[in-house]
Structure 1
Amino acid sequence: MSRSYGNILKCESHPFAPLIEDHRAGDMVCTECGLVVGDRIIDVSSEWRTFANSEKESTDMCRVGAAMDPNNEGDLSTSIGRATGSAGFDENGKPIYRNRNVESSADKARRQATREIMEMAERLSVDKSIVSTAQYIYSNVQKNKLIKGRSNNAIIAACMYIACNNESVPRTFKEICAVSSSSKKDIGRCFKMIKKEVETNYTSTTPADLVTRFCSKLNLPRPVFKLAEEIVKKASNIESINGRSPTSVASAAIYIAAEVTSNSRSFDDISKICGAAVTTIKQIYKTMQANLNTLLPQEYRSALKNTN
């Protein structure tokens, strides 16, 4: 937090002097004159405290508070767990907790979304930065009521799709579908609506974005990665290929790159890993094969076998 404040605040007398943060007082102080430039700054990092009475305490009495969650919108509400044992009942033996759930539908939806986003992230093997981005996008969608009449799961999946792209680890719609309970069609519709209304860093996925990951899943060596990337970049200039599905173009390029480097993979193997239909891969492959002089470096052109 001090970093972001350091970029905004400055001492009027010494504008170029670095600022230091007094964590105990929550102040930003000029190192030249000691002027308190900003006060009562909140530290949003995790809070560590210890309640041990002595060094010999057998139980670890350290506690840590969670870092501030940007999705809570400054909400001051408190969730109270159910009481256990006799404390959970009144003098007539009726549950005290009954009908005490006052959580708003928006809070409930946000909590459910967070859980689903984390589950999707785990299944997609992506890191926490993508979880945070997806939560932020979902929070904007919910707060501004941008999408109505769509399944919450489809909205969450669309947020995850955009978040992956924003963090430069793109996933295909088919991969997102595999970790959600919504159809590709529903996710696609939500994606278009979100992209139109929410300001994000989204850029369209290109075949080059997918090549490295697909090659890795196919256990192909690095030279294949490089050659396939070169092929897809040059293929973007071919009119009949430009505009085709990035997944299909990447798949066909990988097939050619693997073939000419003696690391052959079958159309079926590539289809299974990449998610493109075999017939589509073959169609694009034939177009690429007719343009080998443009797509391949000289040393590889004679190595491609006729697989028709």
Structure 2
Amino acid sequence: MVANLTRQRERDPQSEENARESEGDRERICSECESATLIKSDDQGELVCKDCGLIVEETNIDHGPEWRAFNHSERQNKSRVGSPTTKTMHDKGLTTQIDWKNKDAYGRSLSPEKRNQIRRLRKWQERIRTKDAGERNLQFALSEIDRMASALGVPRSVREVASVIYRRTLSEDLIRGRSIEGVATGCLYAACRKEGIPRSLAEVAEVSRVERKEIGRTYRYVSESLGLEMRPVDPQEYVPRFCSELELSEAVQLKTKEIIQVTTEKGLLSGKSPTGYAAAAIYAASLLCSEKKTQREVADVAQVTEVTIRNRYQEQMEAMGIE
């Protein structure tokens, strides 16, 4: 006689461990020798009597997760139900795509007939992924944002923010009368500003297919229409990257930040370009630290003119009391 004695399990909202109690924790008795000493083999999925060796149960399946979690937040972080959604794709990454490789599941090359069939399927799949002009607009714009973001070397978070901003402009019909490329570039520049990633308009325009003036106009229009809050750009944000490209030491970076801080407190930054201001401070610091760089070298890295550097340099040196 086999008696299966099962304990009543209570569901605790604080801990789901009780709700997922394994078979090994239940009390069972061997049907052969009535011994209660049973051993669970996780590798074989079997429940074996220790005394007589009878396999009480076999091919057990563990329906619980393979990971361990001790609280609700850990369970949420470790749960996996497919790839995460993303705003950087027009379908949020929920659809699948036919692989471009002409190979089957075993890695064997497809026959010419099969290759032609797969090519037609790929073409139809691309067509049905966008159901109307709005989705085609979104698909093209998000691909442009991804292309420009890759060229600028900005993190994934900036692409997500830029995609969200563009989706808002599309839903509020702010794109009418403007080019998709221009609005996409303006959204990317706005995302860089919001995420504190220092990229100048000149740098963004360099990877875009539209002119710098149009990017600036579109950026202002989008940010004002959507009520985006943008903090002023701090010239110090450009210092590490510019100094790294110029191969300047840490001492020059520290001196540059000191020059920017002192002159900014005296109101010298008001109305000035942050990139030109940072470039002039770097030029001044390189001279003071005996790591001289020419105005042309600094101007090329910061994408400003030598005249701008000379003017800002003279103003900063006067404010610092250095001749």
TM-score scaled by length of structure 2: 0.64
Among candidates 252, 256, 277, match of residue 280 of structure 2 = 252
- Answer whether contact 2:85 2:93 (CA < 8 A) is retained: no
Which residue identity does 2:221 align to in structure 1? M
Match of 1:173 in 2: 201
Q: Is the counterpart of residue 283 in structure 1 residue 300 in structure 2? A: no
Distance in 2, matches of 1:213 and 1:125, equals 12
Q: Is the counterpart of residue 265 in structure 1 residue 293 in structure 2? A: yes
- Answer whether contact 1:154 1:186 (CA < 8 A) is retained: yes
Q: Is the counterpart of residue 208 in structure 1 residue 236 in structure 2? A: yes
Distance in 2, matches of 1:19 and 1:171, equals 47
Larger Rg: 2
- Answer whether contact 1:147 1:193 (CA < 8 A) is retained: no
Distance in 1, matches of 2:199 and 2:244, equals 14
Q: What are the Cα deviations for residues 246-304 of structure 1, in whole angstroms up to 9, with x where unaligned?
A: 111111100111110111110000000001110111011111222223xxxxxxx5xx7
Q: Is the counterpart of residue 232 in structure 1 residue 260 in structure 2? A: yes
Distance in 1, matches of 2:162 and 2:196, equals 13
Distance in 2, matches of 1:71 and 1:273, equals 30
| Deviation of 1:85 (Å) | 3.8
Which residue identity does 1:225 align to in structure 2? Q
* 1:285/1:143 CA distance change after superposition, 3 Å: same
Distance in 1, matches of 2:248 and 2:177, equals 44
Match of 1:113 in 2: 141
Which residue identity does 1:119 align to in structure 2? R
Report SS of the residue matched to 1:290: helix
Distance in 2, matches of 1:76 and 1:274, equals 37
- Answer whether contact 1:248 1:280 (CA < 8 A) is retained: yes
* 1:74/1:150 CA distance change after superposition, 3 Å: closer
- Answer whether contact 2:141 2:184 (CA < 8 A) is retained: yes
* 1:19/1:147 CA distance change after superposition, 3 Å: farther
Distance in 2, matches of 1:87 and 1:219, equals 51
Deviation beyond 3 Å, 4+ runs, structure 1: 17-25, 42-47, 70-81, 83-89, 237-241
Report SS of the residue matched to 2:265: coil
| Deviation of 1:148 (Å) | 2.3
Q: Aligned pairs, how many?
A: 246
- Answer whether contact 1:71 1:139 (CA < 8 A) is retained: no
Which residue identity does 1:204 align to in structure 2? P
TM-score scaled by length of structure 1: 0.67
Give % identity.
25
Report SS of the residue matched to 1:291: helix
Correspondences of 1:55-204 after superposition (within 5 Å) = 65-70=82-87, 85=116, 103-204=131-232
Q: Is the counterpart of residue 223 in structure 1 residue 251 in structure 2? A: yes
Report SS of the residue matched to 1:187: helix
Q: What are the Cα deviations for residues 70-125 of structure 1, in whole angstroms up to 9, with x where unaligned?
A: 467988997897x9646999xxxxxx96xx75621111111112211111111111
Q: What are the Cα deviations for residues 194-246 of structure 1, in whole angstroms up to 9, with x where unaligned?
A: 11122445322121121121111111111111111121122223445422111
Which residue identity does 2:220 align to in structure 1? K
Distance in 1, matches of 2:287 and 2:119, equals 69
For structure 2, list consecutive stretches of 5 or more residues without a partner in the other structure: 1-11, 21-62, 65-69, 99-113
Considering only aligned residues, what root-mean-square deviation do their CA atoms show, in Å?
Answer: 3.8
Distance in 2, matches of 1:137 and 1:267, equals 37
Which residue identity does 2:194 align to in structure 1? N
Distance in 1, matches of 2:119 and 2:315, equals 71
Which shows bigger deviation, 70-79 or 183-192? Answer: 70-79
* 1:77/1:213 CA distance change after superposition, 3 Å: closer
Distance in 1, matches of 2:146 and 2:79, equals 20
Q: What are the Cα deviations for residues 153-208 of structure 1, in whole angstroms up to 9, with x where unaligned?
A: 11111111111122221200000001101111100111101111224453221211
For structure 1, list consecutive stretches of 5 or more residues without a partner in the other structure: 1-13, 26-30, 48-64, 90-95, 294-300
- Answer whether contact 1:211 1:228 (CA < 8 A) is retained: yes
Distance in 2, matches of 1:288 and 1:88, equals 63
Which shows bigger deviation, 153-162 or 100-109? Answer: 100-109
